Amino acid sequence: MIPVTKPFLPPKEEYLDLIKGVWQNNWLTNNGPLVNNLEFRLKRYLNLKHLLFVSNGTIAIQIALKSLGITKEVITTPFSYVATTSSLVWEGCKPVFIDIDKDTFNIDPDKIEEAISDDTEAILATHCFGNPCDVDKIREIAEKHDLKVIYDAAHCFGTKYKGKSIFEWGDISTASFHATKLYHTVEGGAVFTSDPALLKQMAWRRNFGHKGMEDFYGVGINGKNSEFHAAMGIVNLSYIDQLLENRKKQSFAYDKMLSKAAVKKPRIAEHTAYNYSYYPVVFENEQITLRIMNSLERKGIYPRRYFYPTLSSLNYVEHSETPVANDISSRILCLPMYHQLTDVEIEMICRLIAMVLNN
């Protein structure tokens, strides 16, 4: 079977080696030495001053919203994973969906201003498939209207924009280190900010609001992560350059074999070192897309309709017209992409696609 993605697992011994210390000092969670070590290494790798390792990419968004004091309307994308929207609603905010750009699949900055109301407090945008949003334009609009910006950068590990980690953009950026992501800690995530006061707030919010043993800064949640997850993160970080390099090769192999096929790919933002984390392709119409999906599934290959349906159609949000997102969503597939995927498998997938497209 060829699924859309498979978690990367490092050599078992390397993981177990790190875990030995957990038995020695009986420290399993609560800001332990491995968590601290991972945070240190991630900062060094990403060349960032601040970040916090948290329990997953969803709680990361929730901690970001809570720490920025966002409680009302948030302008957001309909084309992302459900967690981008559900965390807004969970925090009591109202998602206001605007359409995406037809070429990048990211939020269309030209649609932001017309969606701003007296209740608008923030923009929550996803760098879809690791492709940076128009961050410069979004910053300009946010500054003009005094809005906060949060980036759901769940897909972005390794992506750089203008030579810096994409996690540097926004008041806060969030990442997911879930097992299915390019870089993972089994379950996990992170929040990023350049503001030390905001970092400190997110740190106490992550830990129940604790201010010492018996005092509290304010309302918090359990957003901590464990030594076991940190250990996986430390080992996996030593493979990250290999993972990124291989993704690029695999992506080029797909490009080459699909060069004659009628498929459209997202346009990657300028000034970007892309991480090639996913391989999304858009076909001519929904019917062809479903035929390709069926034909691949019959051979045990499982692409996924990322992202279908659009988030503005969820049953707990106010609907809005997002025709571009609906259109892309109806005819996009993410083709299999993971470290162990071979050239032969990529060739087989592309041949099956060509067979459907050619008849």
Ligand X SMILES: *Cc1c(COP(=O)(O)O)cnc(C)c1O
Q: Which amino acid is located at 217 in the chain?
A: Y
x/- letters, 126..145, toward ligand X (CB under 6 A): x-------------------
Nearer to ligand X, 90 or 239 (CB): 90
C-alpha closest to that of 177 among 214, 231, 131, 220:
231
Q: How far is the CB of 288 from ligand X (least distance, A)?
A: 26
Span 249-308, contacts to ligand X by CB under 6 A: none
Does 225 engage in binding with ligand X (CB under 6 A)? no
Which one of 50, 155, 206, 229 is in contact with ligand X (CB under 6 A)?
A: 155
User: How many chain residues interact with ligand X (CB under 6 A)?
Assistant: 14
Cα separation, 260 vs 255, whole angstroms: 9
Does 191 engage in binding with ligand X (CB under 6 A)? no
Does 58 engage in binding with ligand X (CB under 6 A)? yes
Task: Decide if 124 contacts 61 (C-beta within 8 A).
Answer: yes
Distances from the Cα of 250 to the Cα of 8, 37, 165, 247, 339, angstroms: 15, 31, 22, 5, 9
Q: How far is the CB of 169 from ligand X (least distance, A)?
A: 15
Which one of 2, 32, 56, 296 is in contact with ligand X (CB under 6 A)?
A: 56
In the bound state, the residue with its beta carbon closest to ligand X is 57
Span 84-103, contacts to ligand X by CB under 6 A: 84
Does 176 engage in binding with ligand X (CB under 6 A)? yes
Span 68-87, contacts to ligand X by CB under 6 A: 80-81, 83-84
Q: How far is the CB of 83 from ligand X (least distance, A)?
A: 4
Interface positions with ligand X (CB under 6 A): 56-58, 80-81, 83-84, 126, 152, 154-155, 176, 178, 189
